[in-house]
Structure 1
């Protein structure tokens, strides 16, 4: 009787494991991403290994995409050279990878305008919190990709990777 019970328990566990939702956390064992490049006008994010593109993504930007982010709430995506500096596995937008905006110069410019520079600029997915009907440039200054794409980016790009954001 105990052998039958053991077999049934094992079979149940195997079936339940097969029913689990797929993980949003992927593994990556390819070439190191040595730089991330965002070309704002082309709405293109490139993951590079020593100058060679590994992956290229179409992106959405801040709702006011022209020009460099200067102050909190302006809807612009920053321009310049930053680092990937953090990751959020519990992002409202599926997963997210943080960008080290603002730097000292960004803070100085915003102070000169009498406003805070803002922050919390991320590359992120869409998640369930995207404004209804949002397409194109809809973020507050972040870089938006699909949930599937942010899963790849999250796995491929490590903290400390340089990111260059061009107009």
Structure 2
């Protein structure tokens, strides 16, 4: 019999304890252990050493050195031209950052965080007297969308299936370079 993840079940004399029940009990689990197994594929290929995003081409490449491992069509912020300046401008940042966090429970299927704003972004925003914003991610979608327009608040979006692959391949600390 299959048991829903996240619940405790009595099976005769044995108790089946799932990941959610361990979390609720305060038991620490490794990063990513809390997400349903179906969202992760084990990746056994070459390590992703960097990510390159080409905004004008609506393309993201996962790189191993100078070799492209995988390319993805992307959707961007609702106002994609130019570098992100402030919160709410709908722009996707441009420049060099790193992947600095991940969220297996994202409202956008799965997500990995980009280290925006960096020191330069904060200084630029301070000089203009504005909030630079934050919480920029590569993520899936709340439901599958048609790829006919940019719609995010400044994030980089891919299909949910592609996000599962990216989530498995990209590690925290991976550099990401976002080009105009």
The residue number in structure 2 matching 1:96 is 111
Matches within 5 A, 1:48-59: 48-59=63-74
Pick aligned residue for 1:143 from 156, 159, 178: 156
Pick aligned residue for 1:107 from 104, 110, 122: 122
- Structure 2 residues not aligned, in runs of 5+: 4-35
- Structure 1 residues not aligned, in runs of 5+: 1-12
How many aligned positions are there? 148
* Residue 27 of structure 1: how far off its partner (Å): 1.3
Is the Cα–Cα contact under 8 Å of residues 52 and 176 in structure 2 kept in the other structure? yes
Pick aligned residue for 1:34 from 49, 53, 63: 49
Q: What is the TM-score when the length of structure 2 is the normalising length?
A: 0.78
Runs of 4+ in structure 1 displaced over 6 angstroms? none
| Deviations, residues 82-117 of structure 1 (Å, cap 9, x unaligned) | 000000000000000100000001001111111110
Higher relative contact order (CA 8 A, sep 6+): 1
Higher helix share: 1
Larger Rg: 1
Query: Alpha carbon RMSD of aligned pairs, Å?
Result: 1.8
